[in-house]
Amino acid sequence: MPDSKYLIVGGGMAADAAIHGIREVDSKGSIALIGAESDPPYDRPPLSKGLWKGKPLDTIWRDTSKQAVELYLGREAKTLDPQNKRIVDEHGAVYTFEKLLLATGGTPRELPARAGRILYFRSLQDYRTLRAMAEQGRRFGVIGGGFIGSEIAAALTMNGKEAVMIFPGEGIGDRTFPRDLSKFLNGYYIQQGVQVLPGQSVVDVEAHGEQVVFKVRDEKTSKICDVTVDGVVAGIGIQPNIELAEIAGLETGNGIIVNEFLQTSHADIYAAGDVAAFHNPALSRYIRVEHEDNANTMGRVAGRAMAGKPEPYRHLPFFYSDLFDLGYEAVGELDPRLETVTDWQEPFRKGVIYYLQDARVRGVLLWNVWGQVDAARSLIAEPGPFKPADLKGRLPAKKA
């Protein structure tokens, strides 16, 4: 029975960051990690970006195993008994702990349509599968116009494949960007060779020999048409993996609820990364963030707290993405339903968009503008009130 001082459930980026955090404080305490994937922890963002642009596969590995840790890979934790501090995996193996971290991330949402032959893209194994599919096939359906869909469509196109993007909204990234930018992206993707089908929902998917035919319904006219492709990949969001926390009776909501020291409602059980919902002082509300900076920073803070050095987690994470040769960094709440103030240096190519609520800045999109993440964080922390004219020219911040 593996009996460790620190037990981590989940083999992703938050888990690896936590192990480094523990080792910064405690060089000797035993650490065990249970991870459902058979691969050890790796960086996920390159799966839809760098690896399709020639970045070697061996650059994605984290150096988890160098931190004196027992890795139990290809194992899924099934039950958690907080009183007796025990986890049981799907083979019935029992793991005990003094401090536990739940870093279980999220599982891709699936379509209600008969979904055989759809690859829901999340893991390194999914990347390997898509690479193998891309060796055989020429034309791919990409379902979803958010982060994963837009990156995968670009990745396939840059690798000489035809991509057909299908999503119910009006434009690419329309849950993040203002309407005009999102509409611009539709045109930009078309210019790059992507077939873009906005306002369409997938209602059924059928295998026809080696090919896949999916039926898409136009949201406005309800007209249904067939799209035939060699493979289908989908990125339509994730659901946080909160089952273990629920079984254990820990407080959950949109994620596992943690306090500022990243403890769940049980003082010896912590949560971090995509699965954890925490209070952010700058935004004055609970948030759950599905981005790399949060997984890395929060994981480390959780690890240090588990090892006896608690510090409040007040970080406002940033995120980023690449869309062909466009790229951006962003901080805070990017909700296009908020008031937006756009300050282009070059329309749709370079500039800053501010998202406001009640005359305070809630989010900042830095579109091909680099090195301004901290300045954007400071702006979000300012009480305001801001008028649109106050923000024009505010970023990039002038060097003092």
Query: Least distance (Å) from ligand FAD to the CB of residue 127?
Result: 8
198: cis peptide before it, omega within 30°?
A: no
When asked if residue 35 is in the footprint of ligand FAD (CB under 6 A), the reply is yes
**Least distance CB 310 / ligand FAD (angstroms):** 20
Residue 337: phi and psi, rounded to 5, are -75, -15
Judged by CB under 6 A, which stretch of 37-45, 156-164, 194-202, 388-396 contacts ligand FAD? 37-45
Min separation Cβ 287 and ligand FAD, Å: 13
Closest CA to 382 of 352, 398, 362, 366: 362
14 interacts with ligand FAD by CB under 6 A? yes
CB of 45 to ligand FAD, least distance (A): 3
Regarding 274 and contact with ligand FAD (CB under 6 A), the answer is yes
Residue of 8, 13, 301, 361 interacting with ligand FAD (CB under 6 A): 13
* Residue of 86, 139, 291, 377 that binds ligand FAD (CB under 6 A): 291
Residue closer to ligand FAD by CB (options 23, 288) is 288
Q: Which one of 15, 185, 352, 376 is in contact with ligand FAD (CB under 6 A)?
A: 15
Burial of 183 (0-12, 13-18, 19+ CB in 10 A): middle
> Which listed range, 34-42, 304-312, 329-337, 361-369, lies at the site for ligand FAD (CB under 6 A)?
34-42
Q: How far is CA 82 from the centre of its chain?
A: 28
Q: What share of the chain is helix, strand, coil (3-state, %, to 5)?
A: 25, 35, 40
Closest to 75 (Cα-Cα) out of 56, 60, 94: 94
Residues 293-312 that bind ligand FAD (CB under 6 A): 293, 295
Q: Is 258 in the site for ligand FAD (CB under 6 A)?
A: no
Contact between 244 and ligand FAD (CB under 6 A)? Answer: yes
The two three-digit tokens of residue 156, written as one number: 């396939």
Return the exposure string of 43-70: e unless at least 16 CB atoms fall within 10 Å of the residue's CB, then b: bbbbbbbbbbeeeeeeebebebeeeebe
Where in 109-148 is the site for ligand FAD (CB under 6 A)?
121-122, 148
- Spatial neighbors of 302 by CB under 8 A, at least 6 apart, are 14, 18, 21, 101, 103, 262, 270, 271, 272, 313
Please count the helices (runs of H) and the strands (runs of E) in the chain.
8, 26
Pick from 189, 319, 324, 355: which binds ligand FAD (CB under 6 A)?
319
**What is the DSSP-derived secondary structure letter of residue 398?**
P
Closest by CA to 379, choosing from 398, 400, 357, 354, is: 354
**Residue-wise burial string across 13-23, b where 16 or more C-beta atoms lie within 10 A, e elsewhere:** bbbbbbbbbbb
Which of residues 20, 44, 85, 394 is near ligand FAD by CB under 6 A? 44
Number of residues counted as binding ligand FAD (CB under 6 A): 37
Contact with ligand FAD (CB under 6 A) among 7, 32, 100, 103: 103
Please report, as ranges, the residues that interact with ligand FAD according to CB under 6 A: 9-15, 34-37, 44-45, 47-48, 76-77, 103-106, 121-122, 148, 241, 244, 273-275, 290-293, 295, 319-321
